[in-house]
C-alpha cells in the first residue's frame, strides 16, 4: 500500500448505517447514503446498503455509473451539485428530472419573486420580511397535504410559533395607532 493512504473500515460503515437507519426509521425518515467522498466506491455503497440504507447518492454522474456498472442496483440519487469543469460531463438526464429543474427554477422561484416585488408596492420592506417566515410554515403545511407527513405536537408547536411570530411582527403598537400618518 502506498502512503499516505486512507483506510476504510467497511464494518464500521455498515454498523453506522444500521444505527442511523434504525434511529431515523423510528421517526419515519429514510436515509440515503452519500458516497461522494469515496468517489462512488461500490464497496462503501454495498456496506451502506447492508446497513439498511435504501438509496445511494453522489453528485457526479460518472460515480453513479460506476456504482450501477459494479452491481449496485439500489435507487441512485444525483445530488444537485454538478461541477462544470469536467470535460466529459453529460447532462443527459431524464425528461422528468429536467421538468423538475424547470419547475423549481422558473415556476416556483419566478412566481415567488414576482409576488415578493409586487407586494413591495403595498408593504414596507420590514413588514414584507415577516412573510418570509410564512413560506417555511406553508412548506410545513404542504408537507402534510402532499407528502402525508406525520403530525406531532412539536410540529404543531413550531407551526404555531411561526405564525405567532409573524403576527407579532405585523402588529401595530398601540402607541402608533393614534398617530397620523
17 is a domain residue? yes
62 is a domain residue? yes
Determine which of 12-21, 80-89, 117-126 has the lowest per-residue pLDDT on average: 80-89
14 is a domain residue? yes
Report pLDDT digits (tens) over 123-169.
777 777 766 666 666 777 777 776 677 778 887 888 788 788 878 87
136 is a domain residue? no
- Domain count for the chain: 1
10 is a domain residue? yes
In which band, very low, low, confident or very high, does the pLDDT at 61 lie, cut at 50, 70 and 90?
Answer: confident
In which band, very low, low, confident or very high, does the pLDDT at 5 lie, cut at 50, 70 and 90?
Answer: confident
- Residue 27: give the domain boundaries: 1-81
Please, are residues 48 and 77 in contact by the beta-carbon 8 Å criterion? Answer: no
pLDDT higher than threshold 70 for residue 179: no
Question: C-alpha grid cell for residue 149?
Answer: 407527513
Q: What's the whole-model pTM score?
A: 0.46
pLDDT higher than threshold 70 for residue 83: no
pLDDT of residue 43: 95
Q: Which of 5, 63, 62, 3 is nearest to 33 (CA)?
A: 63
As a whole number, the mean pLDDT across the chain is 79
102 is a domain residue? no
Q: Please write down the HEC assignment for all residues of the chain.
A: CCCCCCCCCHHHHHHHHHHHHHHHHCCCCCCEEECHHHCCCHHHHHHHHHCCCCEEEECCHHHHHHHHHCCCCCEEEECCCCCCCCCCCCCCCCHHHHHHHHHHHHHHHHHHHHHHHHHCCCCCHHHHHHHHHHHHHHHHHHHHHHHCCCCCHHHHHHHHHHHHHHHHHHCCCHHHHCCCC
45 is a domain residue? yes
110 is a domain residue? no
CA angle in degrees (0–180, nearest 5) for 18-24-29: 125
Region 18-29: mean pLDDT is 90
CATH number at residue 28: 3.20.20.10
Amino acid at each position: 500500500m502506498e502512503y499516505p493512504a486512507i483506510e476504510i473500515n467497511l464494518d464500521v460503515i455498515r454498523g453506522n448505517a444500521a444505527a442511523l437507519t434504525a434511529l431515523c426509521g423510528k421517526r419515519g425518515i429514510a436515509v440515503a447514503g452519500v458516497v461522494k467522498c469515496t468517489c462512488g466506491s461500490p464497496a462503501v455503497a454495498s456496506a451502506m446498503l447492508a446497513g439498511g440504507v435504501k438509496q445511494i447518492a453522489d453528485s457526479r454522474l460518472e460515480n453513479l455509473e460506476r456504482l450501477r456498472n459494479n452491481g449496485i442496483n439500489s435507487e441512485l440519487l444525483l445530488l444537485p451539485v454538478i461541477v462544470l469543469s469536467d470535460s466529459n460531463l453529460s447532462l443527459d438526464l431524464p425528461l422528468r428530472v429536467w421538468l423538475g429543474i424547470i419547475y423549481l427554477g422558473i415556476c416556483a422561484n419566478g412566481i415567488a419573486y414576482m409576488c415578493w416585488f409586487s407586494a413591495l408596492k403595498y408593504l414596507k420592506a420590514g413588514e414584507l420580511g415577516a412573510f418570509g417566515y410564512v413560506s417555511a410554515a406553508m412548506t410545513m403545511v404542504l408537507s402534510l397535504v402532499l407528502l402525508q407527513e406525520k403530525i406531532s405536537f412539536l410540529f404543531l408547536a413550531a407551526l404555531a410559533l411561526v405564525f405567532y411570530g409573524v403576527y407579532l411582527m405585523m402588529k401595530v403598537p398601540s402607541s402608533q395607532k393614534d398617530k397620523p400618518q
